[in-house]
Structure 1
Amino acid sequence: MENDSDVSNDTIHFHYPLFTSVYGLTLAIGLPLNSISLWVFFTKLELRTAPVIYMTNLAISDLLFVLSLPFRIYYFATARWIFGNLVCIVSGTIFSVNFYTRSLLVTLISLDRYLAIVHPLNSRSLRSPKAAKVACAIVWLIVMLWSIPIGLYHQTITGQLNVTRCYEGFSFGTWQSAFVLISLVITMGFLVPFIIITICFFAVVRVMIRISKESQDFKKYKIIRLFLINVGVYVVCFVPFNFVLILYGMHQARYFSVRKIVQLFVAHAITVCLASISSCLDPIIYYFTTDAFRAFSMKSEKDTHNTIQLTKRKHQTTMDGTSPIT
């Protein structure tokens, strides 16, 4: 970030403790939650269905994101980069592309649910596990292609007092050349997916309105809740982030000048934090909106209950010397 003459030092550096706190909290919550999610997906659900495959890839993306945070936490806590240029490139790139990896994967989840509700019979081949794996592979290929140019802009910079910086301090020339890339990634990685997710949501709602409220159809209403939460996360976490990022990039590239740069600077820092905490929300969404997670949880509770009952019965048998009725 380039220091503007009309921004005080206190304003410039307020984001250091803010980022340190938010990233630390995101790491503390996101690391165990996403790790547990992956454990459940791989060991209990075994990637049998397309939604599970999509959510597994989403959990992998979120886990990679939180694993990049320790470097940011140290940097913003000390205002000094000590890990070298390569770590700066890798951690900065993972952080940046995660926002759009998530967008593409949530789009696949929304499309899968749209096909399952609106075109259940004609879309079976498109909702197969094999098709889901191919779709995820395409997403990761796109992300890898985006990572190459994005990584070129995440270089260490030696600033005043010979202090090495990372994630900030970009020059006017860097912002100008990067703005085209920022616009392209936001368009293809956020705007288009957001439009698709919204269209899928309203299409599903339209179909559900026509469905009679019979017990056999009740479970399908959970799909609407999943869509609603996905759209809500986008609105809260990603719409402000991408909108402010475009304005901030245009200002830094000198395409237009913002009089109240302090407010824009603060808005940029806050929206980055909002987008970051979304990696903690996904595992919560999995649990409360995914039948598979709930079924696994209920099964675990049932197994635990049965084990306790069996232990009690064995204990009773040992105490009174009688055998339980079977």
Structure 2
Amino acid sequence: MAGNSSNSCISEELVYSARFQASAVVYGLVLAVGLPLNTLSLWILLRSHGLRSPCAVLMVNLAASDLLLALSLPLRVYFYATLQWPFGVATCTTAIMLFRVNIRTSCIFITLISVDRFVALVFPLRSRSLRTSACAIKCCVAVWILVTILSIPEIRNLHSALKECTYIPCFEFQVLAKGSKTIAVAQATFLLTLLVINVVSTVVVIVVLRKRPSDGAAKVNNKMNVILIFAINLLVFILFFLPFTLQLLTIKNDDSGDVIRALICLASVNCCLDPLIYYFSLDSFWQDNGKRQTDVGTYSLSRSMERS
């Protein structure tokens, strides 16, 4: 390990400061809001909508991703409140990786939701064979498998480096191994590509909606709902994912890591907003749809405008 990586193992315990206190407060608030909200959202989605539409499938997976992050937050709150870590190396590695996996999967699922709505609106008839629950389930399974496989080297590297620490600083720990810069650039490039896809989808949808006539309040309502979801998709990317992504490109061996840790705090807030954005903005969220499509905001709008 010595020749391949440098890490932030320290021989003495951390000294409590305002930054640690602020971290404990932020993670505590995110936990207090995100855990019940995502649990409730996941329960409602599974109970009322199941996996009967591609949009419902994607939302269930987004909620599950956010719930995994929320479940790891009590450990972060404890660490930053006490600056002690009695839970061992494996637990620390798991908690750190849950955050990283959440960032990656959330970005992907948010983008897939945008693409699903984009295709449903712009190509409502041609996309019917593609926009199925089975196809959405396969995509989600592929996402989880791919992200897990790509995370294995990272997990092994992190676990090995942590084992060398006498005092485990856990969430204050960072390891910069050989090739880590390449991984950071690859991850940043991937997330920026997803952002571009969201931007393009949003612009095209707005152009399409402006060109199609709107007769009646229902159609105007549907238009606004669709545009709102696309706009907030971009907002989530720009506020929570973009700063963290760009910071990955500037990390150096002698970096104290204070900035990236602050951005990790900021990025964790996305698990609180996802349920509000993607679930409560749907008119049908609280209703049992039966055989109807869950994503009526897009589906009904596209059908009605095809008739116009």
User: Could you tell me which residue of structure 1 aligns to residue 180 of structure 2?
Assistant: 178
How far has the Cα of 1:116 moved from its partner?
0.7
Structure 2, unaligned runs of 5 or more: 1-6, 289-308
Are 2:188 and 2:248, in contact at CA under 8 Å, matched by a contact in 1? Answer: no
Is it true that 1:199 corresponds to 2:200 in the alignment? Answer: yes
Q: Report the equivalent of 2:21.
A: 17
2:242 paired with 1:239:
yes
What does residue 228 of structure 2 align with? 225
In structure 2, what is the Cα distance between the partners aligned to 1:275 and 1:239?
9
What does residue 110 of structure 1 align with?
Answer: 114
Deviation for aligned residue 1:169: 3.6
Q: Distance in 2 between matches of 1:27 and 1:76?
A: 14
Distance, in Å, in 1 between the alignment partners of 2:223 and 2:146 is 32
Q: Among residues 132, 148, 151, which one is paired with 2:136 in the alignment?
A: 132
Q: Normalising to structure 2: TM-score of the pair?
A: 0.82
Question: Quick check: which one's helix share is greater?
Answer: 1
Match of 2:152 among 143, 148, 152: 148
CA distance in 2, matches of 1:266, 1:185: 20
Mapped partners of 2:174, 2:267: distance in 1: 21
Contact 1:204 1:224 in 2 (8 A): yes
Q: Does residue 101 of structure 1 match 2:105?
A: yes
Structure 1 runs of 4+ off > 4 angstroms?
none
Q: Is 2:43 aligned against 1:43?
A: no
TM-score between both structures, scaled by the size of structure 1? 0.78
CA distance in 2, matches of 1:138, 1:238: 22
Which structure is higher in RCO with an 8 Å CA cutoff and minimum separation 6? 2
Mapped partners of 2:232, 2:137: distance in 1: 24
The 8 Å contact of residues 15 and 269 in structure 1, kept in 2 or not, is answered as no
Relative to structure 1, is the Cα distance of residues 27 and 101 closer, same or farther in structure 2, using a 3 angstrom cutoff?
A: same
The answer to whether the 8 A contact 2:240-2:270 is kept is yes
Quote the Cα distance in structure 2 between the aligned partners of 1:170 and 1:48.
42
Cα root mean square deviation, aligned: 2.4
Whole-Å separation in 1 of the counterparts to 2:149 and 2:17: 33
Compute the displacement of 1:90 (Å).
1.4
Identity in percent: 34
1:278 paired with 2:270, answer yes
Equivalent residue pairs, number = 275
Please say if residues 185 and 248 of structure 2, whose CA atoms lie closer than 8 Å, have aligned partners that are also in contact.
Answer: no
Note the residue ranges of structure 1 that are not aligned, 5 or more in a row.
4-8, 255-260, 297-326
Compute the displacement of 1:266 (Å). Answer: 4.6
Secondary structure of the residue aligned to 2:213 is: coil
Letter in 1 for 2:233: N
Q: Distance in 2 between matches of 1:77 and 1:176?
A: 32
In structure 1, distance between residues paired with 2:140 and 2:153: 21
The code of the aligned residue for 1:45 comes to H
Residue of structure 1 in register with 2:303 after alignment: none
Provide the rounded CA distance (Å) in 2 between the counterparts of 1:91 and 1:267: 20
CA contact (8 A) 2:244 2:267 kept: yes
Looking at structure 2, the residues matched to 40 and 34 of structure 1 have their Cα atoms a distance apart, in angstroms, of 10
Deviation digits for residues 179-238 of structure 1, max 9, x if unmatched?
2222222222x1111111111111111101101122363313311110001101111111
Q: Whole-Å Cα distance in 2 between the matches of residues 175 and 273 of structure 1?
A: 23
Q: In the TM superposition, what is the alpha-carbon distance from 1:2 to its structure 2 partner? A: 4.4
- Residue 55 of structure 1 corresponds to 59
